[in-house]
Amino acid sequence: MTGIYVGPRPATELVAAVRAGGGRIVPAAEASAMIWYQGSPADFRALAHPGIGWVQLPNAGVEPWFEAGVIDDGRVFTSAAGCYAPAVAEHTLALLLAAARRLPELIRARTWTHPSPATLRGATVAIVGCGGIGRALIDMLVPLGARVLAMTRSGREVPGAEVSTDPSGLPGMLAEADYVVLAAPTTARTRAMIGAVELARMKPGSWLVNIGRGALVDTDALVEALRAGQLGGAALDVTDPEPLPDGHPLWTDPRAFITPHSANSESLLLPELAKRVRENTERFLAGRPLTGVIDPTLGY
C-alpha cells in the first residue's frame, strides 16, 4: 500500500482523510506522497526526497512555493484551489454589505446620526479574477439584485455575469463598477495590478474590496487615493505588507476597514481541506488525474 506523510503538523482531520481515501500514514522518509500542513518551503526541502511524487499543499495561493523555487522540480503539486470558495465568498459578501450599509462608520459612531446607506440591489460589482471564489460570490449576489461583471485570464463566459472579459477589459470595468472585488492569484502579471492609474479610473465613490492577495494592490497608491477622497472606501481582508504593521495609515483611515486575513480561518479551512485530501488520495492511489494540479507556467 502506498505510504503518505501528513505534516509537519499532522492534523487529525487530514490523517483521517488520508485513511478514508485508502492511504497508509508513514514517516516522510518512507512516503511516496505528502499532505503538507503547517510548514514552510524550507521545511519541505529538508524532508522531501526523490521518492515523493505528489505533494498536496493546504492553500489556494501558492506564491511562497514559487518564490522558493520548489514547485518546478518535477513533482506533481496540487493546491487547495476551489476548496474554500464558499467560505471566502461569504466573507466577501459580508464586506460588500458592510461597505454598502456603512456599517464600520456607524459602529464607530458615538452619537445618533442620519446616514444614507446604499444597497447592493442594482449595484454593479466587478470581480477581478473570477475563479471559484468569484463564481460562488455571483451565486450570492444575483439573488440580491446586483449586476456582475467578471474578468478572467481567458475571458471565458462566466455563468451569472452580465459581462465576461479578459484583462483587456479591466479599465472599462473599473470605470463602471460600484464595487471592485479582487480575487486573483498573485503572479508576475497581477502583482500591483491595481495602482495609481487604475485607482484613478475607478468610479468616484466606488469601493475596492480585496480578498485575493495583498500584492495585487499598490498599497501606497491606495493610501493616497483614500486620502484624496477618490474612492468611497476600501475593504481589505489581505494587505501588502501582511500582517499590516501597527500604526500603518490604513488602520486609521476612516474610509478603510480591515479584517486580518480571516475569510478562511483554520476552523473553516480544515474540514474543506480534508475533503480535497480524501478525494486526491483516492485519485492518487487509483492512478487517476488529481484535482487542483498547479501549472508552473501559470504560477497557480
Q: Where in the sequence numbering do the catalytic residues fall?
A: 213, 242, 261
SS3 (DSSP) at 194: strand
Q: Look at the block and give the residue holding cell 497508509.
A: 24
Task: Please state the φ and ψ torsions of residue 272, each to the nearest 5 degrees.
Answer: -75, -40
Residue type at position 128: V
Per 3-state DSSP, the chain is made up of helix, strand and coil in percentages (nearest 5) of 35, 15, 45
- Cα dihedral sign, 45-48-53-59: negative
Helical (H) or strand (E) element with 34: strand 33-37
CA–CA dist 265, 104 (Å, integer)? 21
Give the Cα separation of 117 and 16 in Å (integer): 47
Residue 187 CB burial class (10 angstroms; 0-12, 13-18, ≥19):
middle
